[in-house]
Structure 1
């Protein structure tokens, strides 16, 4: 997948080679081969805003991803910078990190990320991008009663991070926050609740991706079902009600929509694929959002000679039965069989 061609791949070290005549040991004969799955929005290492980042917990979470066939994760923000040794661990997914969350006053859980002033935000963003995998994550807004990070500040963040070769992810869940992030030229909008559809054409042109994390936001109605309505709950519920139509409109406008699960439980990217399908994305597009499309967006090659040997093999065509994504027959990570 996605080319739907019959191919024979040979794993040489940590790379794929196309060699139909090879006499190497057969590890899988037949099946549907996908590039390793991708979760582009996950936060391994903590489970609640009260948690301190823990290396052992991070390994546990990353292992849960791997066992589900998720062989690449992007962690757009964390309570701590991801340790460098993760990059050399053969049994853990490839990790694209964004350093610590960057939060200006009253725009995030206190002390959970790196608290900075608006004046210091551009420099802090550069520091986190250089200390990570080239990404930084800005909390662009928070609650509806708080103004979003000003547009001129976000523009400076994007300008300075791009100048050092980095990319900027922006947390957005208010209309103002989404507007400012798109207008500033952010590389990705995380969540995009209350996103004005009038911004979608600009997102497509400037290649700003949308990562809606529907799996997490889908819990909103249950969370507030038995509670007395409040301004906050009304805002959240109304935001959720518009998210599926936003995802479909984004896809129709040519925006790159990607799959990310956000928080616990880990290793459930198949749920996000299911939500993208419910939102109206073609099944193959939804699967690509958690596989080949996401890998390309991160700069990774997929199923080609010389590409990284990250494969997930299934006994059925996932585009016909997407739930088969929960049952990988073989998982090959960095050239090694791990499942």
Structure 2
């Protein structure tokens, strides 16, 4: 198989051959041009929870495959699941027709917090050991730093101990936070990625950039919930949600300006909507180049994969035109290449 065209992020012309699951510039006998145009090194959804119909449901393998197929149809060749309803099957991330996958196993939360039926409720004293064991197994662990209005977030000293334990085994730590206290603890602890980050103090962004932390704002799904928030009864919960969501686009734009690594993630159903997140970032004021990178080359680099170059995994999405000048191109891929095979 062979593709050629203008490869992002640089936009230089390349002629690539798939040698198994690896790109090469050396001609491969019998390889014909599969697609040509504008080339991305595969899209990434860095925050997605496939396999369950609604919060609290157990992992359903048929739903899991259907969800992952929707990602592939959208050009997503790599996902990160910072939290799953259960430990996934062995084929998760390795099925040749479905995206590569990183995951953090079930969420780790405090007692009385997070969705009933999902995750593990762990005492503060046991959090570092539990998170380290998960990260040693799958590379990532996920902590729910805060939850409801008025709930106490995971204390900073606990978060620091968790981050140290995870890093000591060579793992990485993602943290869910939608309140200022949880995000402050996460940034102070030097975790690897802040998920959602609603209500985060913008004064933390420079520290995040300095520490090399990533920010997955899940902006599009939060904005899509605004009509429901506005219909809620007046009270602290509505005030928190309305204030946090309406301020979130400004926070995302400020993060980009501060040099924080942005990752595109869609969070909830339906799957295959990473283009919505890219567009939401761009509408918020992030440059189209940076917004697209958050769903492609930047995210792949953060997760340890190369782009469109010799020796890199043979993933790509091909478009007719430069998607940076027309983000609607993301909804019209000409071809999706996964592990050296055309899957769409």
TM-score of the aligned structures, taking structure 2 as reference length: 0.95
Partner of 1:80: 86
Unaligned runs of 5+ in 1: none
Q: Distance in 2 between matches of 1:176 and 1:31?
A: 46
Distance in 2 between residues matched to 1:291 and 1:87, nearest whole Å: 17
Alpha-carbon distance between aligned partners in 1 of 2:237 and 2:94, rounded to the nearest angstrom: 43
Describe the shift of the 1:26–1:125 C-alpha distance in structure 2 as closer, same or farther (beyond 3 A): same
Report how far residue 20 of structure 1 moved.
6.9
Give the Cα separation in 2 of the matches to 1:23 and 1:333. 19
- Counterpart residue number, 2:111: 105
- Tell me the distance in 2 between the aligned counterparts of 1:23 and 1:56: 37
> Residue 115 of structure 1: CA displacement?
1.5
From 285, 294, 301, give the equivalent of 1:289. 294
Among 129, 136, 139, the residue aligned to 1:130: 136
Counterpart selection for 1:330 from 328, 332, 335: 335
Partner-residue secondary structure (3-state), 1:244: helix
Corresponding residue to 1:154 among 155, 159, 164: 159
Q: Specify whether residues 21 and 87 from structure 1 end up closer, same or farther in structure 2 by C-alpha distance, changes over 3 A only.
A: closer
SS in 2 for 1:137: strand
2:25 is the alignment partner of 1:18 = yes
Mapping for residues 223-242 of structure 1, pairs under 5 Å: 223-242=228-247
SS in 1 for 2:24: strand
CA–CA separation in structure 2 for the residues paired with 1:9 and 1:174: 46
Paired positions, count = 337
**CA contact 1:47–1:263 (8 Å) conserved in 2:** no
CA gap 1:236/1:329 in 2 versus in 1, 3 angstroms: same
Q: Partner residue of 1:252?
A: 257
CA RMSD, 1 decimal: 1.3
SS class of match (2:91): helix
- Tell me if the contact between 1:13 and 1:335 (Cα under 8 Å) persists in the aligned partners: yes
Note the C-alpha offset of 1:19. Answer: 3.6
The one-character-per-residue Cα deviations of 1:19-58 (angstroms, maximum 9, x if unpaired) are 4797621212x30010100000000111311311111111
Following superposition, the deviation at residue 118 of structure 1 comes to: 1.3
Q: Please name the residue that 2:190 is paired with.
A: 185
2:43 to 17, 24, 37: 37
The answer to whether structure 1 residue 315 and structure 2 residue 305 are counterparts is no
Indicate conservation of the 8 Å contact 1:103/1:138, yes or no: yes
Tell me, yes or no, if the aligned pair for 2:253 and 2:286 is still in contact at 8 Å. Answer: yes
1:42·1:75 contact (CA, 8 Å) conserved in 2? yes
Give the ranges of 4+ consecutive aligned residues of structure 1 lying more than 3 Å apart after TM superposition. Answer: 19-23
Deviations 1:268-296 (A, max 9, x none): 00000000001111101100100000000
Corresponding residue of 1:145: 150
Tell me if structure 1 keeps the 8 A contact 2:72–2:272.
Answer: yes
For residue 4 of structure 2, what is the aligned residue in structure 1?
Answer: none
Matches of 1:82 and 1:130 in 2, distance apart? 16
Q: TM-score, normalised by structure 1?
A: 0.97
Could you tell me how far apart the structure 2 residues matched to 1:321 and 1:78 are?
34
Q: Higher mean Cα deviation, 219-228 or 326-335?
A: 219-228
Instruction: Report the secondary structure of 1:129's partner residue.
Output: helix
Using the alignment, how far apart are the partners of 1:288 and 1:300 within structure 2? 13
Corresponding position: 1:118 with 2:128: no
CA contact (8 A) 2:229 2:241 kept: no
Q: Are 1:262 and 2:267 matched, yes or no? A: yes
Counterpart in the other structure of 2:172: 167
Once the two structures are TM-superposed, the CA of residue 114 in structure 1 deviates from its matched residue by 1.2
Determine helix, strand or coil for the equivalent of 1:120.
helix
Question: Residues of 2 paired with 1:111 and 1:266: CA distance?
Answer: 21
